[in-house]
Amino acid sequence: MTTNKENQSTSMKIIARIRTNFPTKFGIPRQSGLVDALKGMVVFEPEYRNPDALRGLEGFSHIWLIWEFSEAVRDTWSPTVRPPRLGGNTRMGVFATRSPFRPNALGLSSVKLDGIKLHPDLGPVLRVSGVDMLDNTPIYDIKPYLPYTDSHPEAIGGFAEPIKDYKLEVEFPEQWLSFIPEERREALLGLLAHDPRPSYQNDPKRIYGLEFAGFDIRFTVRDTVLSVCMVVPI
């Protein structure tokens, strides 16, 4: 027998939104911390722009962000999903993956806290790195990362373990690299090395387009080499 309280849904408040260089989902790293050079800025909603709420946070090097897969919210769910890194054909239990298609479309990211700045109009703003979120993603909560409990070097990575070190060699001709501001290059190169494509797409003739920091980066992939063939300002 269930009570009315057990049947109640829980609503959460958006406390902040993150600003990143990803206007679309394609190419966003599959995990936080994969590309340390990817920067973001956490801007609080007006109701939560109280510096007292962040008192003591400056003493932590990393934080947890709990957020919403805002473009994956749906009314139905499936007990199994097809992780892209397994080729898109193998089904795994949704709770054994970090797929955005979940009963509750919540994401969890561990990011480096680069600093806290007090903006005259936006209040306290968090500058973070190692992000894996779409621009304007809603954030529900922020918690400090505690290395003595949150880090488990002996942990086993299950079916994701064999692919953790997978990377591509990136060929980025200078004529196209020169379009990219110098402070964005390291992040972009790291992003491309982690292969933005779904694993089931492996056509060496196909030209892919990745939107990043105001540019459309077009590239091909043959075997383990990614070659940039054009950069177009957006």
pTM, two decimals, is 0.89
Confidence of residue 74 (pLDDT cuts 50, 70, 90): confident
The pLDDT tens digits for 189-232 are 999 999 998 777 788 999 999 999 999 999 999 999 999 999 99
Tokens, residue 18 = 């993150």
Q: Convert the pLDDT of each residue in 107-143 to its tens digit.
A: 999 999 999 999 999 999 999 999 999 999 999 999 9
Residues 3-62: tens digit of each pLDDT: 556 656 678 999 999 999 999 999 999 899 999 999 999 999 999 999 999 999 999 999
What residue spans define the domains of the chain? 4-70+105-150, 160-233
CATH architecture of 4-70+105-150: Beta Barrel (2.40)
Cα 219-73-113 angle, rounded to 5 deg: 65
Q: Which fold has domain 160-233?
A: YaeB-like fold (3.30.2310)
Residue 161's contacts (CB-CB under 8 Å, 6 or more residues apart) are none
**Residue 116 and residue 125 in contact, taking contact as beta carbons nearer than 8 Å:** yes
